[in-house]
Structure 1
Amino acid sequence: MDFSGKDKAAYVQETFNSIAGHYDLMNSLMSLGMDKRWRRIAVQQVGAKPGMTILDVCCGTGQFSLELGKTVGREGKVIGLDFSQKMLDVAQQTLAQSEEKGRIQFIQGDAMELPFPESTFDGVTVGWGLRNLPNLRKGIQEMIRVVKPGGKVVSLDMAKPTCPGFKQAYWLYFDKLVPLMGQIWAKKASAYQYLHDSAVEFPAQQQLTRIFSECGLRDTKYINLAGGVVAIIAGTKPRL
């Protein structure tokens, strides 16, 4: 993957800053509107309940955080963390018009060094963020560190479909049409070419589930969505 002379962290930050204003529209277009349902399922998998405190890593424009906020209720709290300030600016604008604004806080931070003590959160989520990290295992280990024993770590991200025919059509769409859509609606084809390239390099759902386990989570599993185009990976931090 070509980062144009930058390290991955700097390239990703610059890329997401550049598409922040169009990010939610593009997600809806690329997923045919299914991204909202996917987030709701991921919220269920992290076990979010009223009164809980949840961390949403790589929160971007805050759509996952907002869905979590609906579930934790007035007595709960959601912290959304991202290192792209422009993505967070969009998240703040959306939050200001939301009923969840009293229970969600957005902060700028590094997923590689989460600014929280051990065992702080009842659950941790990351949506379409793990593949952007410069060190996948370290990012997962940081999420495990800050979740309470018995709490879950849940990732929602691109996956790799295996059905013959559908698999080839999907990668053709992702490689050719998605960058074109990015150029038309976001004026940034290269950002959406990166989306394709990062998805190609990202571990398949079966492998990522094993990595979750190797990092120390138990009862790890994956759930395929949309024929394996997207997958939820979940695991539980062992109790002491």
Structure 2
Amino acid sequence: MTDSGKQKHDGTTHFGYRDVPEKEKEGLVAGVFHSVASSYDVMNDLMSMGVHRLWKRFTIELSAVRPGHAVLDIAGGTGDLARQFSRIVGDKGRVVLADINESMLRVGRDKLIDQGIVGNMEFVQANAECLPFPDNTFDCITISFGLRNVTDKDAALRSMCRVLKPGGRLLILEFSKTNNPLLTKAYDAYSFSLLPMMGKLVAGDSESYQYLAESIRMHPDQETLEGMMKDAGFVNTVYHNMTGGIVALHKGVKP
């Protein structure tokens, strides 16, 4: 099953494979992440066998972030990217870790404070569809494994473009589509059998990980998402497939 990425026109949207009223999705997604917040890091390592660290490292490299830059990490969760950006931008830079989910934001904040990363960090509870920042604020915006949970992705992309400085970069790291039939078959078996089972054993919650597997399948494919970025005003768009297209990193620039 795939999703064009565009808003449905009947007042509903996707929550995994279910159609739900648009106004209810935010609360449903919040419930998922309230449930998994405390075990999120452990599950990330288990689910990806640690490979998510390589995907995020490539994101950092492609960001071209430099000392003194202002960076916004949307759906920043437990702070993996924000921690690295904080070290790069230094004392004169600024990193904002934003997440719509209070539980995830609290886990990320506590984790970074425990690691001594506080001087140039800010923590903001924010909805990606209507970011609470002035126009032309950030040199770089990242959103890692979060866009598929946003109700109105087009509105979120426009909002991100608005708060970027001209010449600023948006990087979207997200699960995507593989065109390899054997890999797709193996990935489906893993996602819908092993993933919920791991969720039950480690996080005590199989339903949330069932939703996460479904949400990956409903997310726009690489070409569709690139088109959405262009529609939102981004130029020089490009994407890089990783791990056979299971994950893709999209980049766009604000003109």
Short-chain TM bin: over 0.9
Which SS does the other structure have where 2:227 is aligned? Answer: helix
Distance 2:182 2:199 in 1: 25
Distance 1:196 1:70 in 2: 33
* AA matched with 1:27: N
Residue 178 in 1 paired to residue 199 in 2? no
Aligned residues: 238
Once the two structures are TM-superposed, the CA of residue 125 in structure 1 deviates from its matched residue by 0.6
Distance 1:183 1:3 in 2: 24
Q: What residue number does 2:88 align with?
A: 71
Choose from 180, 183, 187 the match for 1:163: 180
Choose from 109, 112, 135 the match for 1:92: 109
* 1:209–1:233 Cα contact (<8 Å) kept: yes
Q: Which of structure 1's runs of 4+ aligned residues deviate more than 4 A?
A: 3-6
Instruction: Note the alpha carbon deviations across 1:81-132, whole angstroms, 9 max, x for none.
Output: 1111111111111111224321211111111111101100011110111100
* AA matched with 1:81: A
Which SS does the other structure have where 2:130 is aligned? Answer: coil
Residue 2 in 1 paired to residue 2 in 2? no
Distance 2:96 2:167 in 1: 19
Once the two structures are TM-superposed, the CA of residue 73 in structure 1 deviates from its matched residue by 2.1
Q: What residue number does 2:40 align with?
A: 23
Instruction: Note the alpha carbon deviations across 1:150-178, whole angstroms, 9 max, x for none.
Output: 00111001011111211211121111111
Most deviating of 45-54 and 125-134: 45-54
Q: What residue number does 2:65 align with?
A: 48
Q: What residue number does 1:134 align with?
A: 151
Which SS does the other structure have where 1:95 is aligned? Answer: helix
Once the two structures are TM-superposed, the CA of residue 77 in structure 1 deviates from its matched residue by 1.1
1:95-106 → structure 2 map (5 Å cutoff): 95-106=112-123
Distance 1:159 1:74 in 2: 36
Residue 229 in 1 paired to residue 243 in 2? no
Q: TM-score, normalised by structure 1?
A: 0.95
Distance 2:87 2:246 in 1: 26
Q: What residue number does 1:60 align with?
A: 77
Instruction: Note the alpha carbon deviations across 1:211-237, whole angstroms, 9 max, x for none.
Output: 111211001011111111111011000
Once the two structures are TM-superposed, the CA of residue 75 in structure 1 deviates from its matched residue by 2.0
Q: What residue number does 1:154 align with?
A: 171
1:200-215 → structure 2 map (5 Å cutoff): 200-215=217-232
Which SS does the other structure have where 1:27 is aligned? Answer: helix
* AA matched with 2:215: S
Choose from 96, 105, 116 the match for 2:133: 116
* 1:39–1:67 Cα contact (<8 Å) kept: no
Once the two structures are TM-superposed, the CA of residue 46 in structure 1 deviates from its matched residue by 2.1
* 1:82–1:107 Cα contact (<8 Å) kept: yes
Q: Give identity over the alignment, percent.
A: 36
* AA matched with 1:183: K
Q: TM-score, normalised by structure 2?
A: 0.89
